Amino acid sequence: MNRLVIIGNGFDLAHGLPTSYKHLIDDFWKNLEEYYNYDLVKRIIYFNTNDRDFRDYYCYDLKNYDDFIKRMTKNFNDFKLNFDRKKIEVNDNKGISLFHFKNQFFKILCEKSIENWVDIENTYYDILKERAKGSFVKNNYPWDVEQLNEEFEQVKNLLEIYLNKKVINNYNLDFTKNHDIDWNRIYNALKPISLFSNEENVLKEFINFDDVNKVKEHFKKERNEEIVNNLYFLNFNYTPIAKIYSDLLGKDDRIESTINFIHGEINNTKENRINFGFGDEMDDDYKIIENINDNEYLKNFKSFQYLQNSNYSSLLNYIDSDKFQVVIMGHSCGLSDRTLLNTIFEHNNCRSIKVYYHQWEDKETHEIKDNYTEINQNISRHFNKKKLMREKIVNKTLCKPLPQIQLPKK
């Protein structure tokens, strides 16, 4: 049986890479003066670098955005500054601006203390719905949708700068040649359903009798002849980590491995630029947005961005071709990808959904915790037929934590 592996940001995090939104935003404030050298950042914030006292005291050696606000709140009187906490604006006693946000969407993200990329997409959609309904209570975003889309694009471009500078150029991604890194634990988990994968209890991962027989028949054929096992990576990340595994697995004559950068690939602006937006057309409020005769409201819906290349049609061809098992590695299965994930999960060829969950030790209680249930709760929101969901999700006793390794810096 084919295997479709859904790769999310947790997969890169499992390699010790700082790819969460919290990593980006903390790095931004920690290295504020460095980022301000980019013209893009000058369109996101205004930072008066000529005022040495303000720069050295308020903007040097920051830990994060909260640290910046704490310094302003605690000490602005000592420096005779005017600090507007609501607008996050700082002026000197002559009314000269020292700091303010130009990008109001970015300001909202900073104020919300957002940690995950899916929460940015959800915030964007919340503001979009507020504009459509004429209600501005929750986020208090002041500008029109065209300005919102422009500011959203700036955040997207900031992400690309960060990934290039602090991840791609900063870590040794040629890790398969490093014998000190136990990357084989992840490699083995990615192998297709096969006699040669050494998976225990794989037949128990399917509830349907016909599916079990199909896997048994596949194993029987493998004993007698050389069969190619099909593996399809649906990669939601922009980094090359998943491709490294896909290419390595594809070197095995028994494995045909394909990777689909469904949300774009970093530094590939011509053929597969970063697709960052919202993808829940099943939401009750989507119809309200769709009925507004203004295409700016639809600009960052992923379905329209999928039409820019053949990635989505490639996925459809794969899931239509034969029965498959879904394996989820590092993807939260949040609502921002609901339309696409519903297409996969409720497809008749999708026979089983297996989750590799994140496991950690609570720092205070030392209790071992995991997000297995949370991921499955998220998965359930992509099903219209809940009975089908319960039949397809593999129970926790047959699932495992996603292995964690640490890639070295260059």
SS3 for the chain, per residue? CEEEEEECHHHHHCCCCCCCHHHHHHHHHHCHHHHCCCHHHHHHEEECCCCHHHHHHHCCCCCCHHHHHHHHHHHCCCCCCEEECCCCEEECCCCCEEEEECCHHHHHHHHHCCCCHHHHHHHHHHHHHHHHHCCCCCCCCCCCHHHHHHHHHHHHHHHHHHHHHHHHCCECCCHHHCCCCCCHHHHHHCCCCCHHHCCCCHHHHCCCHHHHHHHHHHHHHHHHCCCCEEEEEEECCCCCHHHHHHHHHHCCCCEEEEEEECCCCCCCCCCCCCCCCECCCCCCCHHHHHHCCCHHHHCCEHHHHHCCCCHHHHHHHHHHHCCEEEEEECCCCCHHHHHHHHHHHCCCCEEEEEEEECEEECCCCCCEEECHHHHHHHHHCCCCCHHHHHHHECCHHHCCECCCCCCCEC
| Cα separations in angstroms, 9 against 191, 246, 304 | 20, 16, 22
Spatial separation of the C-alpha atoms in residues 172 and 187, rounded to whole Å = 18
Model pTM score: 0.93
Q: What is the pLDDT along the chain (410 residues), one digit of tens a residue?
A: 899 999 999 999 999 999 999 999 999 999 998 999 999 999 999 999 888 888 887 788 899 999 999 988 887 766 778 889 999 999 988 899 999 999 999 999 999 878 888 889 999 999 999 888 876 556 678 889 999 999 999 999 999 999 999 999 999 998 888 888 889 999 999 999 987 776 778 999 999 999 999 999 989 888 888 788 999 999 999 999 999 999 999 999 889 999 999 999 998 888 888 888 888 888 888 999 999 989 999 999 999 999 999 999 999 999 999 999 999 999 999 999 999 999 999 999 999 999 999 999 998 999 999 999 999 999 999 999 999 999 999 999 999 999 999 999 98
* Distant-in-sequence, close-in-space partners of 406: CB < 8 Å, separation ≥ 6: 15, 16, 181
Given this model, what pLDDT does residue 383 score?
96
Q: If we measure between CA atoms, which residue out of 197, 174, 163 comes closest to residue 20?
A: 163
190: its two tokens: 């990615």
Q: Are 336 and 118 in contact (CB under 8 A)?
A: yes
Closest CA to 149 of 124, 126, 172: 124
Give the residue extent of every domain in the chain.
2-17+173-273+308-398, 21-168
How high is the pLDDT of residue 78?
Answer: 67
